[in-house]
Chains A and B, each alone.
Chain A
């Protein structure tokens, strides 16, 4: 008997369970009501649960073939527990799960969930109202205090699931693919819940891995000839949408490297030739414009030896144009009015540009730093700095621009006690403001932020030709007294400088030829483009 039991049990075990080693020695149970082998396997499971035992394991392996028996009726028998009557299986009838020597007496398959039985009340009663046989086993003390040793057959019996539990588990598509070897390694014994005592029932997620090679599917599109034709048509439509549509009505000359080289060659050659030959073919501009007249009047109204504030706000790249425009203005002013100049700049390089200007084009006047002129240097803060300077200049720019020979000298020179600023404590105490700029925004900032502080002071702007169109309205509205812009303005002003020679005259011929060349190129290019357009239209008309 002892030696036969494992064999009998193994015969009824699925393969995955047969591999489980015996955890405890199998001891024969000394019981008068010794059950047959199958009964031993089922252990303490009540009869209704024995009958409900599945005939196959949850892993798809078929259990021992049961004896042929008629399928039990789904009607709960009269002797079954009442609480079980609420669970009626909707599954197809199943044969008794276990092959027993003695057929189980009319044990119906445990009912699976039916829609009506899933109410909360029934579910509560399922887990709170225990059946009599279970409550009795809990309440009554055991007759035999010695624990019944667990055998392999016990484990197997605990691992078997009733059909109603099986009905609750997910569809076993994935589980069925697990190898028995993998699952048999899952020796976890459920300790809680409805599955307490079952071993290896649910596969652990980390261990889930298909061992069989996935079926290979062909990636070739299974499409009929008609479908492929439709797809090709759709592809053509989409490709046509993505193509750029040419603008038929617009054709223009395109810049090319050769055209650029030709223009550059023309400009460089002609201008260099004119400058090298120092020609004076073109006459200087005659007649003053209103804005230059305004500048002349403003400069002429400056009292002798009075303080004048000069703002240098241009980039070093524009130094050629700005010095040509500003030199005749300052030359005339220094010659006739001998003002005390004060330089300031909102541009970082403005301070050294001011030094270059006073020691370059105006070197002949002999102005010395700290005596006849003073450089306040860089004024930080942009528009806020300009406004602060307009309101309180001695606080905003207290020191003179350092020109110490010692590179690391930190000695600061208070500016407002030096001769050029003698008697000046506010912006309105200057006799004139002169702004030299290549930027319309800079001009706008100085005009806007000093409006209230400067009052009726003469304000002259010397600007680059590129900024002049945007500064012109300020002259029209009489916010500035005069405007001298670009080489043209410098040339006009030079005509009013008592015939003193200036740089404008040197540049004037090259400038005039350069302007004529640009006009010729633009006009010629436009006419050429017009001719091309007319030719294309004529060709299109002929084609029609």
Chain B
């Protein structure tokens, strides 16, 4: 009787699903076995991906290839040197040699992130909030116009009130206590309502995602058992 690959993978999936679901009764050896194996397999897989999809095709193969020019090979020595310097970080005595590469990565990464956030999030979001009051597309349709204005107003005031909540500038009062300005205090209170709604939406999303994952796992268990019934 030949054992199919699907059966093996199904059995492994079934077994590890049960191991992980055993966490319902608390932390136990079965759950630990499952997590340890998962962590080990994940680490091994990531290492294999890094070697076979990054190091070999982008560094080793071009260096030993005869079709790559000397200039390109010389350029490849830069990341090779950087990688070697980064490896020095594992030695406390030589870890300082990796600082140059880390400084380069940090600087370039910060520049790319900040530039991307400015051009890809901050400015477009500001423009989006402003454009929410653009009446031109809804001329002649009072219902859509009203909906657009309402949505724009909610987004605009929600943004202002939420930002007010994070304004912590205060002035001392006669009794020594520190209080924000009255208007800021009102805005911050309304901002808390918006923040609460946002957190509620995020919680609902997290629960929905987890529930879907649970449903998928239970469905796979039922299907696996159903194959034998």
- Which residues does A use to contact B, with CB under 8 Å? 257, 260-261, 264, 267-268, 271-272, 275-276, 317-321, 324, 348-349, 351, 377-378, 380, 382-384, 387, 398-399, 401-402, 410, 412, 438, 444-445, 447-449, 451-452, 464-470, 473-474, 476-479, 485-488, 506-507, 510-511, 514-515, 518
Give A319 to B13 CA distance when docked, in angstroms: 13
Residues of A within 8 A of B218 (CB): 268, 271-272, 275, 510
Closest to A325 in B: B212
Pick from B25, B108, B129, B214 the residue with the most CB of A within 10 Å. Answer: B214
Q: Contact: A518 with B207, CB < 8 Å?
A: yes
Residues of B within 8 A of A476 (CB): 128, 132, 155
- Which residues does B use to contact A, with CB under 8 Å? 24-26, 42, 45-46, 49-50, 52-54, 56-57, 60-61, 108-109, 112-113, 116-117, 119-121, 124-125, 127-129, 131-132, 155, 198, 201-202, 204-209, 211-219, 222
Using known A-B contacts A271-B215, A275-B219, A275-B222, determine if residue A466 contacts B119 with beta carbons closer than 8 Å.
no
Using known A-B contacts A261-B25, A271-B218, A451-B119, determine if residue A324 contacts B124 with beta carbons closer than 8 Å.
no
Q: Contact: A507 with B219, CB < 8 Å?
A: yes
Closest to B116 in A: A448
Q: Contact: A465 with B215, CB < 8 Å?
A: no
Q: Contact: A511 with B25, CB < 8 Å?
A: no
Q: Contact: A380 with B212, CB < 8 Å?
A: no
Q: Contact: B211 with A511, CB < 8 Å?
A: yes
Q: Contact: B57 with A399, CB < 8 Å?
A: yes
Using known A-B contacts A487-B212, A507-B215, determine if residue A477 contacts B45 with beta carbons closer than 8 Å.
no
Pick from B26, B120, B211, B213 the residue with the most CB of A within 10 Å. Answer: B211
Q: Contact: A468 with B205, CB < 8 Å?
A: yes
Using known A-B contacts A378-B49, A378-B53, determine if residue A477 contacts B124 with beta carbons closer than 8 Å.
yes
Closest to A387 in B: B112
Closest to B64 in A: A410
Q: Contact: B128 with A477, CB < 8 Å?
A: yes
Q: How far is the CB of B225 from chain A (nearest CB, A)?
A: 9
Give A467 to B209 CA distance when docked, in angstroms: 9
Q: How far is the CB of A323 from chain B (nearest CB, A)?
A: 8
Q: How far is the CB of A271 from chain B (nearest CB, A)?
A: 6
Q: Contact: A348 with B216, CB < 8 Å?
A: no
Residues of A within 8 A of B127 (CB): 477
Using known A-B contacts A378-B49, A449-B112, determine if residue A514 contacts B26 with beta carbons closer than 8 Å.
no
Give A514 to B124 CA distance when docked, in angstroms: 37
- In-complex Cβ contact of A518 among B124, B211, B213 (8 A): B211
Q: Contact: B112 with A348, CB < 8 Å?
A: no
Closest to A267 in B: B214
Q: Contact: B25 with A348, CB < 8 Å?
A: no
Give A402 to B119 CA distance when docked, in angstroms: 36
Give A387 to B24 CA distance when docked, in angstroms: 43
